[in-house]
A and B are shown apart, each in its own frame.
Chain A
Amino acid sequence: QVQLQESGPGLVKPSQTLSLTCTVSGGSISSGGYYWSWIRQHPGKGLEWIGYIYYSGSTYYNPSLKSRVTISVDTSKNQFSLKLSSVTAADTAVYYCAREGGSYHEFDYWGQGTLVTVSS
């Protein structure tokens, strides 16, 4: 059973960089076949796909966030990470990591989510 767990600071100051890590267990990122994703949800709002990474390091980002997002992978630790720069209060959200990779690009495994608040 694949499990994903987000970790990182719950509070980030405006203009700083938000950094989160997702640790994967029960499966290896380097085995391929899946995209490892970040998705966020503003309080009381819908789901927003941020981007994803393949084990090889290929990345794809939401065009609306692309200029501020970096997703990286560390296959030795079976982890992937999100960096979002120049954050504002509008980046306050629950951040989820998830696995995407079925034939129909469904997100089949999710982390529990972590709330990140942007505030001074």
Chain B
Amino acid sequence: DIQMTQSPSSLSASVGDRVTITCQASQDISNYLNWYQQKPGKAPKLLIYDASNLETGVPSRFSGSGSGTDFTFTISSLQPEDIATYYCQQYDNLPFFGGGTKVEIK
């Protein structure tokens, strides 16, 4: 099975800061990497698919990049409503999620 290493597990940043989260796959998964946002008590919400494509309606301050084994998710300017846990999800025959990154406001 492919292992996904997501880091950091948590971070604290100020409003307006640039926030970066990484996911590393144990083997090449091409672009089969998606990112989700989960707010407390809610279901996850798809933000980015195909490593870098923004889901319809998602603000442009969210972005993703990478291919192969190394992927990055970025919030260009952190907003208070972005407080959530973010998950990467890979697909290689079967889908699996990364461990999550909890984003808090400093």
Q: Which residues of A contact B (CB under 8 A)?
A: 37, 46-49, 60, 62-63, 96, 98, 100, 102-108, 110-113
CA distance A60 to B94 in the complex (A): 8
Does B34 contact A47, Cβ atoms closer than 8 Å?
no
CA distance A112 to B31 in the complex (A): 28
Q: Which 6 A-B pairs have the closest CB atoms?
A: A105-B91, A110-B43, A106-B49, A47-B97, A106-B34, A104-B50
Q: With a CB–CB cut-off of 8 A, which chain A residues contact B95?
A: 37, 49, 100, 105, 107
A-contact 0/1 string along B84-97, CB 8 Å cutoff: 00010101001111
CA distance A63 to B45 in the complex (A): 25
CA distance A46 to B88 in the complex (A): 11
Size band of the B side of the interface?
A: 20 to 34
Q: With a CB–CB cut-off of 8 A, which chain A residues contact B89?
A: 47, 106-107
Does B43 contact A49, Cβ atoms closer than 8 Å?
no
Residue from the set B31, B91, B98 with the largest chain A CB neighbour count within 10 Å: B91
Residue from the set A37, A62, A102, A104 with the largest chain B CB neighbour count within 10 Å: A104
CB contact between B34 and one of A37, A96, A104 (< 8 Å): that residue: A104
Say if the beta carbon of B1 comes within 8 Å of chain A: yes
CA distance A47 to B4 in the complex (A): 12
Q: Which residue of B lies closest to A108 (CB)?
A: B46
Q: With a CB–CB cut-off of 8 A, which chain A residues contact B34?
A: 104-107
Cβ of B16 to closest chain A Cβ, rounded Å: 28
Q: With a CB–CB cut-off of 8 A, which chain A residues contact B33?
A: 104
Does B91 contact A104, Cβ atoms closer than 8 Å?
yes
Given A46-B100, A63-B1, A102-B49, does the pair A110, B87 have CB atoms closer than 8 Å? no
Interface residues of B in 40-85 (CB under 8 A from A): 42-46, 49-51, 55
